[in-house]
Amino acid sequence: SVATMGAWGSGLFDNDNALDVMGDLEDSTPQGRPDLVVAALDEVLLADGYIEAPEMSAAVAAAAAVGAVVNPGAAVEESSRPHWLAADAFEVDEELIEKSRRVLRRAIRAQDNEWYELWAESGTADEMVASCQRALAWLGDRDD
């Protein structure tokens, strides 16, 4: 179940892996954060085949963090969103935005995706997909 994944909600930051990623980001310098975000995104983007749930939930949180930096006004309502994200958290460039969009789009594809399977098993995949689509909107996703 989703409970075994350490999740308490279907929000983008409502799980243990997200907390870990956000903690690492907070502990880093603003200059060091983009590299940490890229590392989390690339865990998914460079994966060949099946993607495990911890990597996916971490990457989704990293992508959501980019979205929260791009569009803090929209992200402010997101549950479990770290407050430091609102204050100039880190520099975001087109590459970070594009990688974030790609991770979020990958997250909502069921194929080779343990994270999606766990949500589907618990009957809450729709809520998780809605969360990812929210973050895509923050990133100005045009489905390009």
The pLDDT tens digits for 1-48 are: 565 668 888 889 999 999 999 999 999 999 999 999 999 999 999 998
The rounded distance, in Å, linking the Cα atoms of 45 and 38 is 10
pLDDT computed for residue 2 by the predictor: 60
Give the predicted TM-score (pTM) of the model: 0.93
Quick one: average pLDDT of 73-88? Answer: 84
Which stretch of 7-11, 18-22, 93-97, 114-118 has the lowest confidence by average pLDDT?
A: 7-11
The rounded distance, in Å, linking the Cα atoms of 4 and 14 is 13
Token pair 């958290």: residue: 89
The rounded distance, in Å, linking the Cα atoms of 20 and 52 is 16
Mean pLDDT of the chain: 91
The count of other CB atoms within 10 Å of the CB of residue 6 is 16
Measured between its terminal Cα atoms, the distance across the chain in Å is 33
Is it the case that residue 144 has pLDDT exceeding 50? no
If 0-12 CB within 10 Å is exposed, 13-18 middle and 19+ buried, where does residue 51 land? buried
